[in-house]
């Protein structure tokens, strides 16, 4: 596993399936919630798996841990200032660096998970400050202000986007009328290209990068639209209307064999789109408006979509080909989902973490435990790396051993 991670680090491409978590700190190597781990526990001990270590001084925040071969990074906000924390993989505290003013209004705290690539860490605050720092000691490499430098309007709950890198390009969505989506040089922060797209505000969405017919396309959502942009040149390719009540589209789009799935909450539901052979346009395949998902993510596993319903507080299974809801059950409180070793890991807003086996026509709840530490909302997405489960709950980070003994 470690050798594979080191080899893939040389390519430093984030967002493509099959790449190591060294290069993707948000929802796994494919940004799709699937973690390529095997040999994990099929049943947890009563009370949950073994807690290896925890740290309780992160401050306010909803971002996940970013895990590399030898470090664990996390962010939090204390007295209005955002801090970047570094630990070794055994939980030893290494350092803490302030990176600037962060979000203190409605649901205060850090919003986005650090992105680590090629010895650098990339951070985006809820106030629109984009910072590149050394992954060794946190030293500043470069910084820009999206609000000032790219005329980005801040949004109701603070700018929120888990950043994405491909080669030398760092992508982000300021959401302005001219600089709606931009690509920056990851080493200098200089602008490579800009796209006006539809000129809509950003929408808490973290993009995905897909490779389709030999072409790379950046797919994300802005306030009322799903959009596709040529990742090499910044050419705006297509859009699909996807408005909802609060312009919140926090789930990263999923891609599989020429098909894109986007799902939103507040009553909007999900839609599957088919890319044309050249990627210049899309057509709607199906739409399921009965199943909404606000910010818990979804996973595609063995031809089925799994996630948490925004309104019904149930967990659902949707057929990837038809969009038909196959079944739904109350596993735990609504929340976020990831998958590893053909199992589902569900983290409810009620503070319960559940190990689930997806069977043909139902969910089988195998094991569960309550998160013992932390504060405020249970919103940070789960992370799995090297047989360990990372759980962020407000000011606490907990790391559990989920490997078979």
Local mean pLDDT, 10-residue blocks, the chain (405 residues): 37 37 73 96 97 98 95 97 97 97 98 94 97 96 98 97 96 98 98 98 98 97 98 98 96 98 94 98 96 96 96 90 96 96 97 95 96 98 97 98 95
DSSP string, 188-244: T--EEEEE-TT-PPB-S---EEEEETTEEEEEEEETTEEEEEETTT--EEEEEE---
**What pLDDT score does 22 carry?**
52
User: And the tokens for 184?
Assistant: 């920056």
**What pLDDT score does 13 carry?**
39
Q: In whole angstroms, what is the distance from residue 67 CA to residue 26 CA?
A: 10
Phi, psi values for residue 9, rounded to 5° = -60, -30
Number of C-beta neighbours around residue 81 at 10 A:
15
Q: Write down the residue that tokens 């839609």 correspond to.
A: 271
- Check residue 201 and report its DSSP letter: P
Helix (H) or strand (E) holding 339: strand 335-340
* pTM of the shown model: 0.94
Contact (Cβ atoms closer than 8 angstroms) between residue 109 and residue 374: no
Contact (Cβ atoms closer than 8 angstroms) between residue 99 and residue 131: yes
Contact (Cβ atoms closer than 8 angstroms) between residue 244 and residue 266: yes
Alpha helices in 181-285 (DSSP H): none
User: And the tokens for 289?
Assistant: 């408006």
C-alpha dist (Å) from residue 380 to 66, 171, 172, 219, 315 = 12, 22, 20, 22, 18
User: And the tokens for 50?
Assistant: 């073994």
C-alpha dist (Å) from residue 177 to 113, 143, 223 = 26, 22, 12
- CATH classification for the domain delimited by 2-401, as one of 3.50.50.60, 3.10.580.10, 2.130.10.10, 2.60.120.330: 2.130.10.10
Which of 197, 278, 262 has its CA nearest to residue 234? 197
In the chain, what are the domain boundaries? 2-401
User: And the tokens for 72?
Assistant: 């664990």
Q: Write down the residue that tokens 């949950």 correspond to.
A: 48
143 beta partners:
131
Helix (H) or strand (E) holding 389: strand 388-393
């Amino acid at each position: 596993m470690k050798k594979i991670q080191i080899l893939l680090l040389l390519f430093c491409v984030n967002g493509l399936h099959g790449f190591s978590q060294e290069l993707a700190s948000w929802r796994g190597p494919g940004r799709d919630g699937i973690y390529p781990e095997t040999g994990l526990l099929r049943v947890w001990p009563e009370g949950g798996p073994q807690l290896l270590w925890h740290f309780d001084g992160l401050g306010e925040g909803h971002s996940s841990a970013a895990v590399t071969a030898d470090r664990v990074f996390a962010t939090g906000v204390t007295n209005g200032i955002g801090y970047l924390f570094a630990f070794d993989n055994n939980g030893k505290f290494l350092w803490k660096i302030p990176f600037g003013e962060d979000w203190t209004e409605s649901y205060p705290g850090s919003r986005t998970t650090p992105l680590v690539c090629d010895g650098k860490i990339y951070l985006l605050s809820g106030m629109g400050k984009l910072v590149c720092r050394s992954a060794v000691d946190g030293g500043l490499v470069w910084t820009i202000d999206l609000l000032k430098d790219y005329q980005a309007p801040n949004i109701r709950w603070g700018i929120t986007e888990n950043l994405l890198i491909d080669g030398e390009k760092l992508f982000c969505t300021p959401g302005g009328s001219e600089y709606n989506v931009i690509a920056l040089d990851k080493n200098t922060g200089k602008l490579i290209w800009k796209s006006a797209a539809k000129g809509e505000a950003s929408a808490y969405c973290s993009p995905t990068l897909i490779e389709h017919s030999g072409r790379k396309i950046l797919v994300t959502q802005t306030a009322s639209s799903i959009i596709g942009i040529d990742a090499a040149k910044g050419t705006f390719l297509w859009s699909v209307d996807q408005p909802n009540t609060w312009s919140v589209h926090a789930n990263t789009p999923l891609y599989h064999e020429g098909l894109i799935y986007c799902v939103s909450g507040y009553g909007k539901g999900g839609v599957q789109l088919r890319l044309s052979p050249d990627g210049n346009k899309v057509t709607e395949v199906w739409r399921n408006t009965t199943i909404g998902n606000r910010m818990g993510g979804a996973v595609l596993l063995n031809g089925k979509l799994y996630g948490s319903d925004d309104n019904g507080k149930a967990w659902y299974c949707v057929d990837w080909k038809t969009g038909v809801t196959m079944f739904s059950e109350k596993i735990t409180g609504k929340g976020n989902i990831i998958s590893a070793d053909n199992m589902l890991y569900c983290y409810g807003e009620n503070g319960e973490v559940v190990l689930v086996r997806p069977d043909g026509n139902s969910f089988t709840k195998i094991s569960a435990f309550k998160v013992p530490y932390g504060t405020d909302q249970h919103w940070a997405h789960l992370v799995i790396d090297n047989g360990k489960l990372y759980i962020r709950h407000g000011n606490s980070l907990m790391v559990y051993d989920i490997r078979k003994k």
